[in-house]
Amino acid sequence: MGQALRGRLSSRVLRLPRLYPIVDAEMLEERGIEMGTFVAELRDAGVTLLQYRDKRGNEEQILRNARMIADVFRGVDCSLIMNDDPVLAMLSDWDAVHVGQHDAAVGYARIVLSAEAIVGCSTHNDQQVVAADIARADYIAIGPVFATSTKMDAEPVVGLEGVRRARALTKRPLVAIGGITPENARSVIEAGADSVAVIGALLREGSTPGDMVKRFLEAMPAAESV
């Protein structure tokens, strides 16, 4: 895991896969889905990057789940990203963290992990995109692109135009998030996103998470090779 991340960052140019799945512990628990089974389906469907998000779990639970996720992907070239907390990423022996506007700063996160760590940052408007670019985030997330029910306190929708503006403001890898489905994913990529982050869209009724991964990948143009 760590070796794969460091290799991708050797020239400080991060290449993101088209699909950026987020494993949300709370959502899985609410739907009665076992996290290990869910993560294994993502692995088997070809996922090469995922973020683990747990807003309610205590440190012990988060570290236990992080070890489980790492075990599922052991031997697989997959980048594992911890949400919010660089200290928990470090304790999990993960080399990547994603921070929000109210979480640890990009610079602090890199001090806690390492100078070569991947640090992504959430943004919701032009000013935050510029700030994340100046802070040298390895990738910048913009959203919500469309209306979403995943977060009760979601920021205002930025739309495809918000993705286009973000693309014009930074050359860093751009992840779009919020209300993205296989039906609209291509339009998001065409607006300038390098990758789409998805949470609830992988849990569509009547389809398995693995099937949804494949639908997303089939809907989008292939990412540029490294």
What digits encode the pLDDT tens for the residues 19-61? 999 999 999 999 999 999 999 999 999 999 999 999 999 999 9
**Degrees (nearest 5) of the Cα angle 38, 224, 211?**
25
Q: Domain ranges for the chain, please list them.
A: 2-6+14-215
Q: What is the mean pLDDT of residues 80-96?
A: 96
* Measured distance CA(122)–CA(166) in Å, rounded: 12
Residues annotated as part of the active site: 53, 122, 151
Helix and strand totals (H; E) in the chain: 10, 8
CA dihedral sign of residues 224, 195, 165, 105: negative
Residue 11 has pLDDT above 50, yes or no: no
Q: What is the mean pLDDT of residues 60-76?
A: 97
Q: Are 46 and 215 in contact (CB under 8 A)?
A: no
Q: What pLDDT shows up at residue 7?
A: 36
Q: Which of 215, 160, 208 is nearest to 188 (CA)?
A: 160
Joined together, the tokens standing for residue 55 give 């807003």
Superfamily for domain range 2-6+14-215: Aldolase class I (3.20.20.70)
